[in-house]
Amino acid sequence: MALIHTCYRITDIDRSVAFYEALGFKEVGRVPIRDEAVNVFMNQPGDGEMPRLELTYNFGVESYEIGTAYGHIAITAPDLDDMLAQLAVLGIEPEKPPYTIREGGSRLCFVRDPDGYRVEILEMLG
């Protein structure tokens, strides 16, 4: 068994795809679900054939409640400052400046996607 993807429900396909592309994802396919929805599949470089992220757009739904049990997804960046500079050009700002959890630990910060889902960006050490 293997974890293959995470699914979010989104309210605007173009806006969400642009956000995740800014984080290094690439759209790899779209699948309509009858006349109810469209699934947009996204990968990061090296993910192979299996999509890592599924964005589901349900026709006629304008908002979702994220809920208190949801946490975040996490991605890595080789240079957190460079990633944040690229995101700033697109108007995406971190919730607060990068920080570390413990002395000598990796730097991290959180951003929110267009629907309010949190994404942790973690700068990996050596």
Query: Tens digit of pLDDT for each residue in 4-56?
Result: 889 999 999 999 999 999 999 999 999 999 999 999 999 998 888 788 999 99
Output the pLDDT for position 4. 81
88 φ, ψ to 5°?
-60, -35
User: Which of 100 and 3 is assigned the larger pLDDT?
Assistant: 100
Q: Which 3 state secondary structure label does DSSP give 48?
A: coil
Output the pLDDT for position 69. 83
Q: Looking at the predicted structure, is the pLDDT value of residue 3 above 80?
A: no
Output the pLDDT for position 126. 61
Q: Looking at the predicted structure, is the pLDDT value of residue 85 above 90?
A: yes
Q: Which residues neighbour 87 within 8 Å (Cβ) at sequence distance 6 or greater?
A: 22, 23, 93, 111
CA-based max dimension of the chain:
52
CATH 3.10.450.240 fits 6-123, yes or no: no
Q: Is 120 considered catalytic here?
A: yes
Output the pLDDT for position 1. 64
Question: What's the gap between Cα 16 and its chain centre?
Answer: 9
Beta-sheet pairing, 53-58 with 107-112: unpaired
Q: Where are the domains of the chain?
A: 6-123
The active-site residue, picked from 21, 93, 120, 123, is: 120
Global model pTM greater than 0.85: yes
How many percent of the chain have pLDDT more than 70? 98
Q: In terms of Cα–Cα distance, which of 53, 55, 2, 11 is closest to 33?
A: 55
